[in-house]
Amino acid sequence: MTIEETGQKGSIQLGTESRILPSGEREFMLDVATSDIELNMGPQHPATHGVMRLLIRTDGELVTGVQPHLGFLHRCAEKIGENVEWLQYLPYTDRYDYLAAMNNNLGYSLAVEKLMTGLEIPQRATHLRTICAELNRIASHLIAFGTYGLDIGAFTPFFYAFREREWIQALFEKICGARLTYSYIRIGGVFNDSPPGWLQEVERFCDVFEAKWQEYYDLLILNHIFVKRTANVGVIPPAMARDFALTGPMLRASGIDFDLRRDMPYMDYGEIYEAGAFQIPLGSGEKGTVGDCWDRIYVRMKEMIESLGIVRWCLGSIEDGPVIGDIPKVLRVPNGECYVGIENPRGELGHYLHSDGGKIAIRCRVRGPSFVNLAVLEDIMPGTLLGDSIAIVGSIDIVIGETDR
Amino acid sequence: MGLLENAFEENVLTTKVDWLLNWARLNSIWPMTFGLACCAIEMMAVGAAHHDIDRFGAGAFRASPRQADLMIVAGTVNFKMGERVKRLYDQMAAPKYVIAMGACATGGGPYYKFGYTVMKGVDRIIPVDVYIAGCPPRPEALLEGLMALQQKIRRTPVIRRPARTA
Amino acid sequence: MDFAAIHDHLKAIGAPGLLGADEPRPADKKAKDPGRSGDPYLLIDCARIVDFLLVCRDDPKLSFEILADITASDPAADDEHFWVLLNLLSIEHKHRLALKGLLPKANPVLPSATKVYRAAQWNERECAEMYGITFEGHPDPRNILLPDDWVGYPLRKDYEFPKEYHGISCE
């Protein structure tokens, strides 16, 4: 509901009765009409996951309306896409969802490759792409887990999450030189072959991480206080999830079994699913209701383990070979338009590209999952307490770079 | 320091007092949580255990500008956010410092061309003490920037009159 | 269902506003046709978009419950139409549909799809502020990403980059 719909009046109405207390005094109950306050959970706030402004109307501790304001990180990615060449646009793709930069590169590269009919992507490149995308999914979900704990008030998981994340970032640094914005997955393949020993180190990471994951799960997710703060909070029923076009863990937490990697597979994911390397975790209302905040963080935690399965499958079947196809320095993409959606850690990342055969795109549209997922906040936050609102915002797991592009 | 600021001529006593005051300040610079974009993640990594910023005394990130000494502008500033940046900078109490972290805060970054709503450097609205290059800069680079800021604070005359230049 | 099957089904049930299809074709040097690669698009009439989307969402064989994306495009500065592009996704049948509608630049008005999908609300706000397209019946037509006092429509091809904003130079 919008702020206007909630009305101006306060809602605390007490009866006008009186009673005699055991001490002999008479206690009166009075009508206290208070008015709602408008709070600004402003662009600079430790718990808004970036620069987002939430205008919250509260009646005491109860939230009666919320109005998200975006645009504080609008960096004109779509206009830049219409002005720079195809290969030059790749670094900008890293920077929308900066926590899952490999997946962004992948989405853009797959979209351009779809327009370039007849382009062969080498097998080794596909496997390296999959390994990097899934490791990045683990890194992104680790931040979701760490910062969610921080929002709720638990400081320790943040440090543990960053410990594992430093390892993943060191792996990525060995393969492409960057820690956060990689530009590694390029049109036609990947930029660099893995250095010697890298694949063995990834295997070692998988083994160590599995044990650590169980530790984090028991530490935070099954923690009694965490469950009390997130179960039955911010419930998104399946019909609402479909209406708001939620995708990714938010959709699966509401019980809807849909994952682009399995149901509309791209790259090798169809084959990987057939081999049984990963399953799709769903929210089941184990601690509360289906589609509450606990289910969303539960789905994200389980997805980390499934990603390990995918990485292990790729490590087992990777072969030697070239890592990039034959791409000219100045790329001219054939005339056409396409939309390619991939499964980002946050949902469906879609790239719509329109080319007229030239060096520069005519239109480069980015469908950011965080932007679409955030709209649901206007409907699920009213009616909750202020502390629950923080839990809800954290559970949507937004990245403002993607919300604002 | 108010009345005492730059009030005394330079001698052995005031140099020692200044050294002490600056030592106290540079070993407890409390930053404000001001991560805007991708550089914020590297700032969080600096705050985490591997590249520990707390060993510099700067680990207490304060959310409120009124309790912070340092504003690390980590990320792209656009016009909509720039108004808030200026407001937050004004709310900080002196002595206050600003680190422009990353290419975007330094000079617009990769959004210099065709970024119609991106401010080309945060120094267009607030005075910056240290610029850190990188996109995003490594956590070690941020620590080096912090050390450069500490060096700057070490040289600051607090109660002694600054040396006159001819 | 693939694109041809969806197109035939829509024609069979008489979906309102269906104009045709724009399908990929190979290049033809003799006819000087550069060809078209990528996805097939269904051309629809912008004025009947709400009825068309209702059919897409409610028909059991199509059941496009998710509006993945609604956006617009300005193909060229001298082209007299905007393109309104939608992308629908069906979870039940696991298929996608891409729609394109032509909107005259002289009068860029079309009905809002928020009655059909709640997801359209924020996407249409973004389209409106970037292109200057008016969505009739939109419950909350404010700027979403740009500042409230921004002048001009940035994603149009004839947009001039501003020189300054509130006294701060844009150069």
Q: What is the DSSP string of A65-116?
A: EEEEE--TT---HHHHHTTSBTGGGHHHHHTTSGGGHHHHHHHHHHHHHHHS
Q: Which residues of B touch A46 (CB under 8 A)?
A: 33, 61, 63
Chain B (125-164) residues lying within 8 Å, Cβ to Cβ, of chain C: 125
Chains that touch C (3 or more CB pairs under 8 A): A, B
Averaged pLDDT, A35-49: 81
Of C161, C166, C168, the CB nearest to B116: C161
> CA B119 to CA B81: how far, in whole Å?
9
Query: Would you state the pLDDT for residue C161?
Result: 87
Tokens for A210, please give them: 């599995």
**For residue A364, which phi and psi values (nearest 5 degrees)?**
-130, 100
pLDDT band at B165 (very low <50, low <70, confident <90, very high): low
Asked if B84 and A44 come within 8 Å (Cβ–Cβ), the reply is yes
Of C147, C169, C171, the CB nearest to B80: C147
> CA A352 to CA A84: how far, in whole Å?
16
C-alpha torsion angle, residues A400, A146, A306, A310 (rounded to 10): 70
Query: Would you state the pLDDT for residue A1?
Result: 43
Query: Would you state the pLDDT for residue C30?
Result: 78
Domain coordinates of chain A in residue numbers?
A: 3-69, 77-404
The one-letter code for the residue type at A346 is R
- Å from B132 to nearest chain A CA? 16
pLDDT at B156 over 90: no
User: Which CATH topology does B2-154 take?
Assistant: Rossmann fold (3.40.50)
Q: Which residue of B has its CA nearest to A399?
A: B37
Q: Which residue of B has its CA nearest to A401?
A: B37
Nearest 5°: the CA angle B22, B25, B28 is 145
Asked if B111 and A45 come within 8 Å (Cβ–Cβ), the reply is no
The pLDDT tens digits of the residues spanning A343-377 come to 999 999 999 999 988 899 999 999 999 999 999 99
> CA C44 to CA C58: how far, in whole Å?
18
Asked if A245 and C67 come within 8 Å (Cβ–Cβ), the reply is yes
The pLDDT tens digits of the residues spanning A105-153 come to 999 999 999 998 878 889 999 999 999 999 999 999 999 999 999 888 8
Q: Please check whether residue A277 is in contact with residue C107, taking contact to mean a CB–CB distance below 8 angstroms.
A: no
Averaged pLDDT, B73-100: 91
More confident residue, C38 or A313: A313
Q: Which helix (H) or strand (E) holds A310?
A: helix A293-317
Query: Would you state the pLDDT for residue A8?
Result: 46
Strand positions, DSSP E, A287-346: 336-344
- Å from B98 to nearest chain C CA? 19
Q: Which residue of A has its CA nearest to B65?
A: A44
> CA A184 to CA A135: how far, in whole Å?
13
> CA A261 to CA A321: how far, in whole Å?
25
3 state DSSP class of C146: coil
More confident residue, A19 or C147: C147
Residue B110: name the closest of B85, B130, B136 by CA: B136
3 state DSSP class of B152: helix
The pLDDT tens digits of the residues spanning B97-128 come to 999 999 999 998 899 888 888 999 998 999 99
% pLDDT > 70, chain B: 97
Asked if A76 and B118 come within 8 Å (Cβ–Cβ), the reply is yes
Q: Please check whether residue A230 is in contact with residue A168, taking contact to mean a CB–CB distance below 8 angstroms.
A: no
pLDDT at A17 over 50: yes
> CA A43 to CA A52: how far, in whole Å?
5
| φ/ψ bin of C21: left (φ > 0), alpha (ψ from -120 to 50), beta (otherwise) | beta
Of A70, A247, A256, the CB nearest to C144: A70
Query: Would you state the pLDDT for residue A2?
Result: 47
pLDDT at B147 over 80: yes
Sorted by where each starts, the structural domains of chain C and their CATH numbers stand as 3-24+38-111 (3.30.460.80)
Neighbours of A153 (CB within 10 A): 11
When the pLDDT of each residue in chain A is averaged and rounded to a whole number, the result is: 88
DSSP for A232-290, written as a single string: TSS---HHHHHHTT--THHHHHTT----HHHHS--TTHHHHHHTT---------SSSST
- Å from C39 to nearest chain A CA? 5
Of A83, A98, A159, the CB nearest to B37: A98
CB contact, 8 Å: C10 with chain A? no
Q: Which residues of C touch A337 (CB under 8 A)?
A: 36, 38-39, 41
DSSP for C27-55, written as a single string: -BTTTTB--BEE--EEEE-GGGHHHHHHH
Query: Would you state the pLDDT for residue C24?
Result: 83
State whether CATH 3.30.379.10 applies to domain A77-404.
no
| φ/ψ bin of A165: left (φ > 0), alpha (ψ from -120 to 50), beta (otherwise) | alpha
When the pLDDT of each residue in chain C is averaged and rounded to a whole number, the result is: 88
3-state secondary structure C81-103: EEEEEEEEEECCCCEEEEEEEEE
Asked if B50 and A166 come within 8 Å (Cβ–Cβ), the reply is yes
Probe site for chain C from A119, A269, A335 (most C CB atoms < 10 A): A335
Tokens for A315, please give them: 């490590």
Residue C121: name the closest of C146, C142, C104, C147 by CA: C142
Probe site for chain C from A72, A242, A258 (most C CB atoms < 10 A): A242
> CA A291 to CA C109: how far, in whole Å?
37
Q: Which residue of C has its CA nearest to B122?
A: C168
> CA A335 to CA A357: how far, in whole Å?
4
Query: Would you state the pLDDT for residue A48?
Result: 65
CB contact, 8 Å: C140 with chain A? yes
Query: Would you state the pLDDT for residue A285?
Result: 82
Query: Would you state the pLDDT for residue A4?
Result: 45
- Å from B99 to nearest chain A CA? 17
Q: Which residue of B has its CA nearest to C163?
A: B116
- Å from B37 to nearest chain C CA? 15
Tokens for B146, please give them: 């912090």
pLDDT band at B89 (very low <50, low <70, confident <90, very high): very high
CB contact, 8 Å: A119 with chain C? no
> CA C138 to CA A390: how far, in whole Å?
29
CB contact, 8 Å: A75 with chain C? no
CB contact, 8 Å: B41 with chain A? yes
- Supply the pTM of this predicted model: 0.90
Residues of C with CB under 8 A from a CB of B: 146-147, 150, 154, 159, 161-162, 165-166, 168-171
Q: Which residue of B has its CA nearest to A44?
A: B34
Residue A202: name the closest of A114, A313, A96 by CA: A313
Query: Would you state the pLDDT for residue A3?
Result: 40
Tokens for A199, please give them: 């694949």
Q: Which residues of C touch B120 (CB under 8 A)?
A: 169-171
The pLDDT tens digits of the residues spanning C136-160 come to 989 888 889 998 888 889 999 888 8
- Å from B3 to nearest chain C CA? 35
Percent composition of chain A: helix, strand, coil (DSSP 3-state, to 5): 45, 15, 40
Q: Which residue of A has its CA nearest to C115?
A: A243
- Å from B165 to nearest chain C CA? 33
pLDDT at A14 over 60: no
Chains that touch A (3 or more CB pairs under 8 A): B, C
Domain coordinates of chain B in residue numbers?
A: 2-154
Q: Are strands A336-344 and A189-190 parallel, antiparallel or unpaired?
A: unpaired
% pLDDT > 90, chain A: 54
Q: Which residues of A touch B81 (CB under 8 A)?
A: 43, 51, 72-73
Of B38, B48, B88, the CB nearest to A95: B38
Asked if C87 and A245 come within 8 Å (Cβ–Cβ), the reply is no
More confident residue, B32 or A46: B32
Angle between helical axes of A156-176 and A198-216 (0-180°, round to 10): 170
Residue A185: name the closest of A52, A41, A365, A324 by CA: A324
pLDDT band at A47 (very low <50, low <70, confident <90, very high): low
Q: Please check whether residue A71 is in contact with residue A160, taking contact to mean a CB–CB distance below 8 angstroms.
A: no
Q: Which residue of C has its CA nearest to A403?
A: C145
The pLDDT tens digits of the residues spanning C75-87 come to 888 888 999 999 9
